[in-house]
Structure 1
Amino acid sequence: MLAQAPRTSLADSAANSIRAEISAGRWAVGSRIPVEPQLALLLGVSRGTVREAVKTLVSRGLLEVRQGSGTYVRSGFDPSANLQKMRRASLRDQFEVRRALEVEAARLAAVRHTAKDLRNLRALLERRGLPDASDGGASFIQRDLDFHLAIVDVSGNLALAETCRFITGYIKDTIASSMGTSLPEPDQAAHASIVEAIASRDPDRAAEAVRAFMAPMIDALSKAEP
């Protein structure tokens, strides 16, 4: 029987109990977990708490909600611990990893893009607009992230796209770091230069555009960090 969740941090505790069932192999990958009312009874929590727990595990890639069918075990591996370790890396390290991924994405996008892909990138760039801190910058960060992830999608490399989505929170941290700080934020022209380099179908030019885009931020951090 599932261990009932303690009364503190109920949603997190419920998520931990569900994860323990998955890790122990009692709920195998591909299997459907008990429905919400049954989970609430097993865990001794409300259905609202169960929904929050499931939402947490969906975001971590362990569960998958299929509309009209139920909630299924997607993976037995919880990457959250690895992500926490990555987030303890220095900001310079984070930017260097992001640069490595986006350079390769741009190279592949230059070779594989379609006319429709270019139209989408330009539309996302226009939608990105200028930084807006009215909501703490959250909307702008998401628009900027959408633009960069679209380039990764245009690369046509699923493993690369999934890797970038795996560290989405990590990428958001690097975007947020240049808002309201002395760290230089690339302007619209810098972003547009990447799109135009991709449009040229020259992979070396596309790669160089991303390196030039990242250089001011990484240089600034290299001077600030030991």
Structure 2
Amino acid sequence: MPPSVDSPSVPPRGHRVRQTIAQLRERILAGEWPVGGRIPTEPQLVAALGVGRNTVREAVRALQHAGVLECRQGSGTYVVSTDELAPVVARRVGDHRTAEVIEVRRAFEVEAARLAALRRTPEDLAALDGALAAREAAWHGGRVDEFVEADAALHTAVVAAAHNAMLAELYASVGTALRSSLTQAMSESLTPERYVDHSRLVAAIRAGDPEWAAREAGSFLEPTPRA
């Protein structure tokens, strides 16, 4: 006779769904199902995870609501993000709340610069020098898309030099949204009045001066006065 629902050998339904969500997340984060790729069909997931169809269905639906998966009619279910926070941030940026985006960047980047000045290693400094040089080359090349990527790479290198894993993860969550906001700010051309020198920021981190580094990072992101 099969165990009843209340039997200790059968976890409650809600627990099974949470476990299944966790298993799906693990496989996505491990790269088994990359962003842009299609996940296995429902019957295949049932067989692979050892749970019922309804449990799989609820777990997939939860990850769809979180912005990690997307169901495409007649095609299947696809991975659209490895990060549940990124779609939320992207939607906020899409609402054109420019002042809020700047405030969030300031919160992350000022503290990252301060910590980087205290914790940078020789390898970090080499990465910063390389990223700064690439940013300069991209600016002089005159291509907005290349410059946006190079600028983002430099700021990411600053965050990496802070050696704070949680800060790095959170910053990565907003990376796509920040690139989008920078692209909008640059419009279609790199004009002289839009240029912002980042060499002093790298110099401050190299000098190990946290206050100087924080000032330099903050100077790029002055908050917009509210009406």
User: Does the TM-score normalized on the shorter chain lie above 0.5?
Assistant: yes
Per-residue CA deviation, residues 80-131 of structure 1 (Å, 9 max, x unaligned), is: 3464245436211211110111000000000000122111101111111206
Match of 2:207 in 1: 200
Match of 2:194 in 1: 185
Q: Which amino acid aligns with 2:146?
A: S
What's the CA shift for 1:138?
Answer: 2.1
- Alpha-carbon contact 2:86-2:176 (below 8 Å) kept: no
CA–CA distance in 1 between the matches of 2:186 and 2:175? 17
CA–CA distance in 2 between the matches of 1:195 and 1:139? 20
CA–CA distance in 2 between the matches of 1:149 and 1:198? 14
Match of 1:27 in 2: 20
CA–CA distance in 2 between the matches of 1:178 and 1:38? 40
What's the CA shift for 1:38?
Answer: 4.9
Q: List alignment gaps of at least 5 residues for structure 2.
A: 1-15, 45-70
TM-score, length of structure 1 as denominator length: 0.63
TM-score, length of structure 2 as denominator length: 0.63
Q: How does 1:74-223 map to 2 (within 5 A)?
A: 80-81=87-88, 83-85=90-92, 87-88=94-95, 90-129=97-136, 130=139, 134=143, 137-180=144-187, 185-187=194-196, 190-215=197-222, 218=223, 221-222=224-225
CA–CA distance in 2 between the matches of 1:207 and 1:140? 23
Per-residue CA deviation, residues 41-81 of structure 1 (Å, 9 max, x unaligned), is: 778844xx55xx12x1xx243xxxxxxxxxxxxxxx67634
Q: Which amino acid aligns with 2:41?
A: L
Larger radius of gyration: 2
Going from structure 1 to structure 2, the CA distance change for 1:96 and 1:45 (only over 3 Å counts) comes to same
Match of 1:71 in 2: none
Q: Which amino acid aligns with 2:184?
A: S
Going from structure 1 to structure 2, the CA distance change for 1:131 and 1:99 (only over 3 Å counts) comes to farther
Query: Does 2:63 match 1:39?
Result: no
Q: Between Structure 1 and Structure 2, how many residues are aligned?
A: 174
- Alpha-carbon contact 1:95-1:174 (below 8 Å) kept: no
Q: Report the secondary structure of 2:130's partner residue.
A: helix
The root-mean-square deviation of aligned C-alpha atoms, in Å, is 3.6
Q: State percent identity of aligned pairs.
A: 26
What's the CA shift for 1:25?
Answer: 3.8
Instruction: Indicate the larger mover: 84-93 or 158-167.
Output: 84-93
Q: Report the secondary structure of 1:96's partner residue.
A: helix
Q: Report the secondary structure of 1:173's partner residue.
A: helix
Going from structure 1 to structure 2, the CA distance change for 1:78 and 1:123 (only over 3 Å counts) comes to closer
Q: List alignment gaps of at least 5 residues for structure 1.
A: 1-22, 62-76
